[in-house]
Amino acid sequence: MSETHDHSNEHDHATHTHDGKPIQEDPLPSLEAQILEASVRELLIEKGVISADDVRRAIDQVESRTPALGAKIVARAWDDSEFKALLMSDSDEALMAFGVDMRPTELCVVENTDEVHNMVVCTLCSCYPRPVLGVPPAWYKRRDYRSRAVREPRAVLQEFGTQIPDQKQVRVHDSNADLRYLVLPQRPAGTEGWDQEKLARLVTRDSMIGVSDALAASDIGG
Amino acid sequence: MRGPQDYGGMPAGPVDPVKHEHVPTHWEKTVDAMMMLLFDQRRRLARVDESRRMQEALGEDYHKYPYYERWLQAISWLMLEKGVYTQEELEAKKAEVKARLESGNES
Amino acid sequence: MNPRFQPGDRVKVLHRDQPGHVRTPMYVRGKTGVIERVVGSFPNPELLAVGHSGLPYKMLYRVNFRQGDLWEDYGGPAEDTLEIEIYEHWLAPV
């Protein structure tokens, strides 16, 4: 992930990874967008608003935030009921132990149970608990997910391979204002006695958005 | 009036969790980084709500712009609105960058 | 600032056809739900969006809706729910 962020060249970085394989992804920005980006960045640097070093460090910060942190938080909540109670009631305080600062937003943790399955969307833009999950996946930002997650959540869940029985309530959270949502998935069966590090390996990004469940113990050879 | 960003409940296609994954490019992370810096506690040059207002101002173009290009346009319009740089300075800089890119001497 | 609504109160989301940036999506306007919790007071995003300080702050609530009340043709069990954050000036008592 970090092999490209000190390149100043605008072209080479996005076409190949360090092992030389072409990256399959959205088209490169248009020439117009490349010109605008370089122009804005250079003007902001010339005006003393930001420095090139600030940009590099901010990119490091973007890259340092990954769903691995969210997974650690979930694993601890599974393993430590006191921590879980704090996380659900005063997430700011609970997240201090992980060095996470959500301001100016607040983290709202919603727990999956035998009765309720939670799922998160932001219909108006792409609000997402970035300090604990990193940048949102592309599908989370697209029109398809944003439009349909509120109106036909069960159909969308099925597109992720997630089948929720009719007797279980599906609860959609539209993350539209000042809270950011993290789903606390159900702890999989057969994980009694596992330590937090091993538990964290079951916690996927998608399970913390609520479009899937956590992995099964057998998925990681447990 | 319904803004272009107000997608909730509108007709749309299937979600493809495999095809619609994407590793952010360096270019996208740079735009992300600039937005973070302009919003941070030290600079406070803009708020996320202002960026959203600018993205919504794209109107029908909102649907056509790739995600980070929307962000970039919002940043640039906000900097113009706040007088951080002028339209003339931006046009001159764009001409300079364009000439540089076309000459293949872009760094 | 005292919240006008308490958890369990039935509320209706107003239409408030106003221009500019707002955080109340169309699909909940005119719909009736129940206050799930009082989140607290926050800067008004409609004012933050135009570069103001967001004062006076607005009380924010999480409102729970039955999906069957949001969409006539909801395809799943009508007891499925949706929760969303709504600022106080967008809510009326029912």
Domain ranges for chain C: 10-93
Q: How many domains does chain B have?
A: 1
Position A106 confidence tier, pLDDT thresholds 50, 70, 90: very high
Indicate whether A5 belongs to any domain: no
Indicate whether A21 belongs to any domain: no
What residues contact B54, with CB distance under 8 A and at least 6 apart?
Answer: B73, B74, B77, B78
Q: Write down the pLDDT at residue A23.
A: 43
Q: Write down the pLDDT at residue A128.
A: 98
Q: Write down the pLDDT at residue B19.
A: 87
Across all residues in chain B, what is the average pLDDT? 93
> Residues C46-51: what's their mean pLDDT?
96
Q: Write down the pLDDT at residue A15.
A: 41
CA dist A171 to A73, A112, A137, C24, C34, Å? 22, 10, 21, 19, 14
Contact yes or no for C25 and B8 at CB 8 A: yes
Contact yes or no for A150 and B106 at CB 8 A: no
Q: How many domains does chain A have?
A: 2
Which of C26, C29, C60 to mutate against chain B (most B CBs within 10 Å)?
A: C26
Contact yes or no for C45 and B9 at CB 8 A: no
Residue A5 has pLDDT above 50, yes or no: no
Residue C91 has pLDDT above 60, yes or no: yes
Indicate whether A104 belongs to any domain: yes
**Backbone phi and psi for residue A172, each to the nearest 5 degrees, phi listed first:** -95, 135
Tokens (6 digits) for A103: 């301001």
The SS3 call for residue C66 is: strand
Tokens (6 digits) for B95: 């001409």
Indicate whether A79 belongs to any domain: yes
Residue A20 has pLDDT above 80, yes or no: no
- Stretch 141-160 of chain A: residues touching chain C, C-beta under 8 Å: 150-155
Q: Find, in chain B, the residue whose alpha carbon is nearest to that of C17.
A: B1
Residue of C17, C27, C48 with shortest CB distance to B9: C27
Q: Write down the pLDDT at residue A24.
A: 45
Q: How far is residue C45's CA from residue C53's CA, in Å, rounded to a whole number?
A: 9
Q: Write down the pLDDT at residue C18.
A: 87
Indicate whether B80 belongs to any domain: yes
**Full domain range(s) for residue A55:** 30-64
Residues A158 and A206 in one domain: yes
Strand partners, A173: A120, C83
Across all residues in chain A, what is the average pLDDT? 90
Q: How far is residue A104's CA from residue A101's CA, in Å, rounded to a whole number?
A: 9
Query: pLDDT tens digit string along A152-197?
Result: 999 999 999 999 999 999 999 999 999 999 999 999 999 999 999 9
Residues A85 and A192 in one domain: yes
Indicate whether B5 belongs to any domain: no
Contact yes or no for B53 and C27 at CB 8 A: no
Tokens (6 digits) for C24: 């109340």
CATH number of the domain at B61, please: 1.10.472.20
Query: pLDDT tens digit string along A202-215?
Result: 999 999 999 999 99
Residue A127 has pLDDT above 60, yes or no: yes
Query: pLDDT tens digit string along A27-84?
Result: 678 999 999 999 999 999 999 999 999 999 999 999 999 999 999 999 999 999 999 9
Residue of B6, B27, B93 with shortest CB distance to A43: B93
Residues A119 and A35 in one domain: no
Which of B18, B19, B26 to mutate against chain A (most A CBs within 10 Å)?
A: B26
Listed range (B15-19, B73-77, C45-49) with the worst mean pLDDT: B15-19
Q: Alpha-carbon Rg of chain A, whole angstroms?
A: 20
Residues A149 and A42 in one domain: no
Position B41 confidence tier, pLDDT thresholds 50, 70, 90: confident
Across all residues in chain C, what is the average pLDDT? 96
**Full domain range(s) for residue B63:** 26-102
Q: Write down the pLDDT at residue B1.
A: 79
Indicate whether A18 belongs to any domain: no
Share of chain B above pLDDT 90, in %: 83
Q: Write down the pLDDT at residue C17.
A: 82
CA dist A43 to A135, C15, C90, Å? 26, 42, 40
Residue A143 has pLDDT above 90, yes or no: yes
Q: Write down the pLDDT at residue A105.
A: 94
Residues A211 and A131 in one domain: yes
Nearest to A205 by CA among A111, A128, A125, A143: A128
Architecture category of domain C10-93 in CATH: Roll (2.30)
Residue A8 has pLDDT above 80, yes or no: no
Give C19's contacts in chain B (Cβ within 8 Å).
1
Position A222 confidence tier, pLDDT thresholds 50, 70, 90: low
Residue A22 has pLDDT above 70, yes or no: no
User: Which sequence positions of A are flagged as catalytic?
Assistant: 122, 125-127
Residue B105 has pLDDT above 80, yes or no: no
Give B45's contacts in chain C (Cβ within 8 Å).
none
Q: How far is residue B3's CA from residue C24's CA, in Å, rounded to a whole number?
A: 11
Tokens (6 digits) for C1: 């600032």
Residues of C with CB under 8 A from a CB of B: 17, 19-21, 25-27, 45, 48-51, 70-71
Please work out, in degrees rounded to the nearest 5, the angle formed at the alpha carbon of residue A54 by the alpha carbons of A51 and A56. Answer: 115
ipTM of the complex: 0.97
Indicate whether B78 belongs to any domain: yes
Q: How far is residue B72's CA from residue B55's CA, in Å, rounded to a whole number?
A: 9
CA dist C3 to A181, A197, A199, B68, Å? 23, 42, 40, 38
Measure C21 CA to nearest chain B CA, in Å.
Answer: 6
Contact yes or no for B27 and A54 at CB 8 A: no
Which of A90, A119, A174, A181 to mutate against chain C (most C CBs within 10 Å)?
A: A174
Tokens (6 digits) for A166: 């009719």
